[in-house]
Amino acid sequence: MGFTIKDVAERAGVSPATVSRVLNGQQRYIRPETRERVLRAVQELGYLPDRRAQALRRRRTGVIGVLTPDISNPFFSLLVRGVEHEARAHGYSVLICDSQNAPEGEDRAIDALLRERVDGVIVTSVRADNTKLLKFLSKGIALVVADRPLTHLDVPTVTVDNVRDGYKLTKHLLALGYERLAFIQGPPDTATALGRWTGYLQALREHDLEPPKGAVVSGDFTFEGGYRAAKRLLRRLGAFDAIVAANDLMALGALYALRERGIAVPDELGLAGFDDIPMASWVHPRLTTVAIPAYRIGKEAMKLLCACVRTDADKVRHRVLPTRLVVGESCRPSRR
Amino acid sequence: MGFTIKDVAERAGVSPATVSRVLNGQQRYIRPETRERVLRAVQELGYLPDRRAQALRRRRTGVIGVLTPDISNPFFSLLVRGVEHEARAHGYSVLICDSQNAPEGEDRAIDALLRERVDGVIVTSVRADNTKLLKFLSKGIALVVADRPLTHLDVPTVTVDNVRDGYKLTKHLLALGYERLAFIQGPPDTATALGRWTGYLQALREHDLEPPKGAVVSGDFTFEGGYRAAKRLLRRLGAFDAIVAANDLMALGALYALRERGIAVPDELGLAGFDDIPMASWVHPRLTTVAIPAYRIGKEAMKLLCACVRTDADKVRHRVLPTRLVVGESCRPSRR
DNA sequence: TTGTACGCGTTATCAT
DNA sequence: ATGATAACGCGTACAA
């Protein structure tokens, strides 16, 4: 069954300590012949060290946790992929905990990560003010925030400037001649959703405009949510000439709803989102959106986490990555 | 920092053993007052047991592994979700290992799962004949196969009948009047890809047809792969009147390539795939495909795994789930 | 009803 | 260069 280090030691005719030394690279104080015998025994038995026992003794697990709101959202699966690649390069395993966009799920996930004794955590929180995250810090577990900044905690953070992005995209639509921009909101307490909304309002204000009455609806960052939100919007058809969704997945859901109703995009209504997930360019018309470097956010967050673990000093600072406007065909090049 | 059971014991004025008993549900032989004190101490310290230490002592980890070829493929993320929900209901945690559709990645993942001492594994293998999977069985780790049957191993398996599906879809296209069906293959050694191809050939043979010359190209089950495959196919434009892709993701990649070249679907070319991933119905035209119950496959596989762990006897058998043809608009209702 | 003592698999330390 | 031993945090048989 499961062989232990003792089995290997016995087969090689050495002590468990020697086996451990051979396997842990302190190879200078070992006779080549012994080394050989041990490795052969390992090979023959197909011995693989028990990670749990190792973690217990070493007092570090070699596992970092990722707390993500929705792994089925391509944006986050890309972000997690960035974390994973960088983590692997540093010898860490990655434990993914999906909160399913629910505060309770997030609390459960935090407990799970604490029980697993992860060496560090990368968090994309549902709530911008989740105080339970303090538990990590109080237990000396490194914490890095990715994509969604926290309001109450000053920890290393990798984000983009969501307000700027919301502003940027809205300005773009206004420049194209759209004037009555409906808006599909993200989850209520989510930092990115709030930032984009704020930027949208700023841009409107600069043009002495307001959100069209009854054309601001709530969503939850999912395709389904975008679909339902768009259906609600369609009851006010005529009150707006374009729809801005707080992320691409909802924009795609809206596109589906519009198609169902036979409303042509961009001829009858403009449509835009945020993230630039791959699917945004797979559909027709391709989505106008703001490209957020999800993979790179994950990668940078993991780099920061490594820096945290190494240097106790907090010379690790926030990073704000650049974004890029992606002009698809979901908005008319120029209105009249 | 990290509190241990001793800290709790000390604070509650009892022995570690008592704390353990309170927390592990053998609560009948404990004085309510003591119980109270212990729980209060746990609360105050925010104590959470170390899962690794627990696993070491209990000789089971409470973790099951999922070996998946590509978690970014919506089909598999749905399958994994099915596993997760059922696992949670049985008190198991889930460790996901992505082989990135590469045999080497799969071997690495197997080692990782062995080191983690998972209690059981659900496998969707890249190769239908991966002998390294035997390691699980030889170490007494329960093994269940999901979606892609293995050729060399008789273990509990949850699948659909891929040959039948390939046959079914092809027959449908032929009935619509399509006669020259190009085919985009899946990865060479993958069971589902091979099955669908076989069914396709069977159906063609029944109509005394053959795959059109030069219109069978290889792919890798990814969107990008489907895109590239379709571009290769387009060099033989005119040799075929429809494209069958071995999965939806590739079909969507092909759709993108066709659109880029200004080829109308279904007016100029028919298009079909397998899986019925959500996106298949989000695009326009919606894809004609065969619905494979990914979520249910995952769920059933986890159920079988539980059955394996409980009963050593192999009364656990294979399960073949039903599928359903989904008629989208990507194929013309009737040719001529 | 509660405490003592041991063992789970591994590694760091000290001794040889 | 290698072996013996303690310790990591927890659960449980057995003693009290």
- Does A335 map to a domain? no
- Does B333 map to a domain? no
Mean predicted confidence (pLDDT) in A202-226: 97
How far off is chain B from A324, nearest CA to CA, in Å? Answer: 23
Mean predicted confidence (pLDDT) in A42-67: 95
Q: Could you give the CA distance from residue A271 to residue A184 in angstroms, rounded to a whole number?
A: 11
**Which pLDDT value is given to residue A213?**
94
pLDDT in tens, B210-232: 999 999 999 999 999 999 999 99
Between chains, do B278 and A139 touch, taking CB under 8 Å as contact? no
Give one DSSP letter per residue of B85-128, joined into a string. Answer: HHHHHTT-EEEEEE-TT-HHHHHHHHHHHHHTT-SEEEE--SST
Q: Could you give the CA distance from residue B306 to residue A161 in angstroms, rounded to a whole number?
A: 47
Q: How far is the CA of A52 from the C1' of D3 (A)?
A: 24
* Pick from B51, B112, B256: CB nearest A115: B51
Tell me, yes or no, whether B149 and B167 share the same domain: no
How far off is chain B from A301, nearest CA to CA, in Å? Answer: 20
CATH number of the CATH domain containing B10: 1.10.260.40
Residue A317 confidence class, pLDDT cut points 50, 70, 90: confident
Mean predicted confidence (pLDDT) in A251-268: 96
Mean predicted confidence (pLDDT) in B20-25: 90
Mean predicted confidence (pLDDT) in B9-27: 90
* Pick from A48, A61, A252: CB nearest B282: A252
- Does B329 map to a domain? no
Between chains, do A115 and B71 touch, taking CB under 8 Å as contact? no
Q: How many domains is chain A built from? A: 3
**Which pLDDT value is given to residue B30?**
87
- Does B276 map to a domain? yes
Q: Which long-range contacts (CB under 8 A, 24 or more apart) does B71-74 make?
A: B71/A77, B71/B96, B71/B98, B72/A74, B72/A77, B72/A81, B73/B221, B73/B222, B73/B247, B73/B249, B73/B277, B74/A72, B74/B249, B74/B277, B74/B278, B74/B279
pLDDT in tens, B265-305: 999 999 999 999 999 999 999 999 999 999 999 999 999 99
**Is B139's Cβ below 8 Å from some Cβ in A?**
yes
Mean predicted confidence (pLDDT) in B241-260: 97
- Does B327 map to a domain? no
Domain enclosing residue A20, as ranges: 5-49
**Which pLDDT value is given to residue A21?**
92
Tell me, yes or no, whether A167 and A155 share the same domain: no
Please count the residue pairs, one from chain A and one from chain B, whose beta carbons lie less than 8 angstroms apart. Answer: 82
pLDDT in tens, A126-171: 999 999 999 999 999 999 999 999 998 999 999 999 999 999 999 9
Task: Supply the mean pLDDT for chain A.
Answer: 94
Q: Could you give the CA distance from residue A113 to residue A127 in angstroms, rounded to a whole number?
A: 18
Tell me, yes or no, whether B149 and B84 share the same domain: yes
- Does A222 map to a domain? yes
In the predicted structure, residue B80 carries a pLDDT above the cut 60: yes
Tell me, yes or no, whether B58 and B124 share the same domain: yes
A29-38, A203-212, B21-30: range with lowest mean pLDDT:
B21-30
Q: Which residues pair with A159 in a beta bridge?
A: A320
Between chains, do A2 and B117 touch, taking CB under 8 Å as contact? yes
Task: Supply the mean pLDDT for chain B.
Answer: 94
Residues within a 7 A CB radius of strand C: A 2, 4-6, 16-17, 20, 23-24, 49-50, 53-54, 56-58; B 13-18, 21, 28-31, 33-35, 53, 56-57, 59
Between chains, do A72 and B81 touch, taking CB under 8 Å as contact? yes
pLDDT in tens, B94-128: 999 999 989 999 999 999 999 999 999 999 999 99
**Which pLDDT value is given to residue B314?**
60
**Which pLDDT value is given to residue B308?**
87
Tell me, yes or no, whether A32 and A93 share the same domain: no
**Which pLDDT value is given to residue A316?**
62
Q: Closest residue by Cα to the C1' atom of nucleotide C2?
A: B18
**Is B131's Cβ below 8 Å from some Cβ in A?**
no
Tell me, yes or no, whether B166 and B215 share the same domain: yes
**Which pLDDT value is given to residue B335?**
54
Between chains, do B135 and A46 touch, taking CB under 8 Å as contact? yes
pLDDT in tens, B154-182: 999 999 999 999 999 999 999 999 999 99
Tell me, yes or no, whether B242 and B314 share the same domain: no
**Which pLDDT value is given to residue A312?**
59
Tell me, yes or no, whether A176 and A201 share the same domain: yes
In the predicted structure, residue A314 carries a pLDDT above the cut 90: no
Tell me, yes or no, whether B197 and B109 share the same domain: no
- Residue whose token pair is 């296209």: B173
Percent of chain A whose pLDDT exceeds 70? 97
CATH number of the CATH domain containing A57: 3.40.50.2300
- Does B235 map to a domain? yes
Tell me, yes or no, whether A210 and A245 share the same domain: yes
**Is B321's Cβ below 8 Å from some Cβ in A?**
no
Tell me, yes or no, whether A103 and A132 share the same domain: yes
- Does A126 map to a domain? yes
Percent of chain B whose pLDDT exceeds 90? 90
pLDDT in tens, B128-153: 999 999 999 999 999 999 999 999 89
**Is B60's Cβ below 8 Å from some Cβ in A?**
no
Contacts of B71 in chain A (CB under 8 A): 77
Q: How far is the CA of A22 from the C1' of D6 (A)?
A: 21
Q: How far is the CA of B52 from the C1' of C7 (A)?
A: 15
In the predicted structure, residue B63 carries a pLDDT above the cut 70: yes
Tell me, yes or no, whether A285 and A201 share the same domain: yes
A14 touches strand D (CB under 7 A): yes
